[in-house]
Structure 1
Amino acid sequence: MNECIERVLSLPQLTPSEEVNAAFTELVEKVVAHGEEPLLCDENRRHQVQQRCAVAEGELEQYWSRRIPGADNPWAELGAFPYHENYKELTRREIGLLGRAGLRLCGPSEVAMIGSGPLPLTGWWLHQLTGARITHVDASDEAIKLSRGLATALDWPGEFVTGLGQSVALDEGRYDVIYVAGLAGETLAEKQAIVDRALSALKPDGRLIARGAYGARTLLYPGFDADALEGVQLMEEYHPTDGVINSVFVYKPAQ
């Protein structure tokens, strides 16, 4: 594992290439194989790896968000994205978790994705699998611009809003579900600020989904204490044991 970490930390740049792809693929495989037990790793070093993973993920998504609309067949190119099925499977599981938490998504449902990124495949699959209408929110103007271009190329309906998760202007009481992405809010305090903002835009019987990480997977994504968020009640908690990385937490507004 230490060799994998050193390889990732020593990469001179993080834009997609054979070297970058191989380094991160090896790291992810090692983390998944390690299981649920946390890795014994210096916290500063863990943070460095998380930061590199976040930047590399952003670079990969930007690359594909430009590549797909420029292809002769954007639909086929979308299917060529290496983690396409991973996004689909995680989204399918989240739909099931929402159902267990008492909420069924369908055509009239409204969903907001905070931290949707330049390649918002969770929103794509939620729309494809349930018909729900998606509002994508990201702090990056470039990410929203790329998302809009992708949506146009795929004839995919949706709203795209630039804004910080803790202060973005969302209609009060509009949404059935609000997602907080794994990289939205590095610390518990930052995540709490996003949740506080999201609650005002959530319907009284709505649900909030927060993605995080657990065990060895916290080397790749920041983890957080799911019971420590205020103003919400934890209803479902899911930690994958296969190639899916993110843990999922489903909440309802606290009474």
Structure 2
Amino acid sequence: MVNTLVLREKSKQLISLIVKVHQSLKEERDLSPRNNRVNQLLTLFVDQVADVYSREEIIYILQHHAIKSIQSELYQLLGQAETEMEFYYGAAYANRDPLKWDDLKQFIYWKNYVELSCTELQELQRCGWNTSKIAFVGAGPLPLSSFLFQQQTGAPVTCIDLHTEACDISRTLIGKLGQQSHIEVENIAGEEVDYSGYSLVFIASLVPNKQEILKQIHCTNPGAIVAIRTVEGLKQLLYCPVDEKKLIEEGYQIIGRTIANKNIINTTLFLKAKMTSDL
């Protein structure tokens, strides 16, 4: 009985924090790192969500009426905060002259990106990926994953993003780091790209129209491996999780996945289109 009460109290404390985060983000006009209140609140929130919880606690929190009533709007606010953070740091690095690789290591989530990319690469090797051209859809103004994968594999990379300003900042970073012969940027919607030249396509967590992009990949290059970053457990409070059933309905099979931990928020699913003989 004591353990049950302790678990329930821990869950209630997190629920109270989530409600506070939601209300605070709604009240703030500036969700960028310039706002120290937002920085402190989001750091605490992410740390708490990344903690270890039992299956019973996770279900209790995710299904609680106070969370379900705000979850959709919370996703929007958190997405806005993450986007503003990437633009803030992307622009700051773009203004450095000179810009060095070691400068990127000052980014607050640098170690998380490094650990995630290493874990993804290990799983890709297990899936039999042949190191060749990579596309990152939703690369944004601070394409750290693109930089890391290019450095780790030597493969040419294309950063794809619909946002013109994000592409401009990204190109500046790539140029200042001397990576323009290895990494290019395309200012285009992910569902309009011809993926025929890519062996691997990453789709970022915040990309909203994943289903349309999957259809385009299936149409233009069904042999490509697709990597989709999603979330599991309480980390579903941070991002909207990918519906794995819909992936199967789109004609894909899951050939691998990474495992998240306290330092890695995302779980990455690796997909491949089912061939006619597999259907």
TM-score (norm 2): 0.82
Matching of residue 87 in structure 1 with residue 113 in structure 2 = yes
Q: CA separation of 1:203/1:224 partners in 2, compared to 1, >3 Å: closer, same or farther? A: closer
- 1:212 maps to amino acid: T
Higher strand share goes to which structure?
Answer: 1
Alignment of 1:89-104 (within 5 A): 89-104=115-130
Deviation at 1:44, TM superposition (A): 3.7
- 1:169 maps to amino acid: V
Using the alignment, how far apart are the partners of 1:43 and 1:192 within structure 2? Answer: 24
> Which position in structure 2 is the counterpart of 1:19?
37
> Which position in structure 2 is the counterpart of 1:236?
256
Please identify the structure whose Cα radius of gyration is greater. Answer: 2
> Which position in structure 2 is the counterpart of 1:254?
274
Structure number with greater CO (CA < 8 Å, separation at least 6) is: 1
Deviation at 1:7, TM superposition (A): 3.5
Q: CA separation of 1:46/1:92 partners in 2, compared to 1, >3 Å: closer, same or farther? A: same
- 2:32 maps to amino acid: T
Deviation at 1:142, TM superposition (A): 1.1
Q: Is the 8 A contact 1:74 1:154 kept in 2?
A: yes
Deviation at 1:69, TM superposition (A): 2.4
CA-to-aligned-CA distance 1:97-155 (integer Å, 9 cap, x gap): 111111142xxx10011111111111110001001111111121111111111111111
Using the alignment, how far apart are the partners of 1:127 and 1:100 within structure 2? Answer: 19
Query: Which of 210, 230, 249 is matched with 2:228 structurally?
Result: 210
Deviation at 1:2, TM superposition (A): 3.1
Using the alignment, how far apart are the partners of 1:132 and 1:217 within structure 2? Answer: 31
The alignment-based identity, stated in percent, is: 29
> Which position in structure 1 is the counterpart of 2:96?
71
Deviation at 1:247, TM superposition (A): 1.0
Using the alignment, how far apart are the partners of 1:159 and 1:169 within structure 2? Answer: 14
Using the alignment, how far apart are the partners of 2:47 and 2:98 within structure 1? Answer: 31
Matching of residue 196 in structure 1 with residue 215 in structure 2 = yes
CA-to-aligned-CA distance 1:40-79 (integer Å, 9 cap, x gap): 3433411222111111111111111111122244223211
> Which position in structure 1 is the counterpart of 2:187?
162
Q: CA separation of 1:32/1:193 partners in 2, compared to 1, >3 Å: closer, same or farther? A: same
Query: Which of 163, 171, 195 is matched with 1:148 structurally?
Result: 171
- 1:142 maps to amino acid: E
Using the alignment, how far apart are the partners of 1:201 and 1:4 within structure 2? Answer: 45
> Which position in structure 1 is the counterpart of 2:155?
132
- 1:33 maps to amino acid: D
Q: Is the 8 A contact 1:115 1:139 kept in 2?
A: yes
SS of 2:32's equivalent?
coil
Matching of residue 45 in structure 1 with residue 70 in structure 2 = yes
> Which position in structure 1 is the counterpart of 2:205?
182
Q: Tell me, which stretches of 5 or more residues in structure 1 are unaligned?
A: none
Q: Is the 8 A contact 1:174 1:201 kept in 2?
A: no
CA-to-aligned-CA distance 1:9-68 (integer Å, 9 cap, x gap): 213120113211111110001111143634334334112221111111111111111111
Q: Is the 8 A contact 1:65 1:119 kept in 2?
A: yes
Higher helix share goes to which structure?
Answer: 2
Q: CA separation of 1:202/1:84 partners in 2, compared to 1, >3 Å: closer, same or farther? A: farther
SS of 1:80's equivalent?
coil
Q: Tell me, which stretches of 5 or more residues in structure 2 are unaligned?
A: 1-13
TM-score (norm 1): 0.89
Q: Is the 8 A contact 2:170 2:185 kept in 1?
A: yes
CA-to-aligned-CA distance 1:165-223 (integer Å, 9 cap, x gap): 22x232x52101001111112xxxx322110112334362x311011111100110110
| CA-based RMSD | 1.8
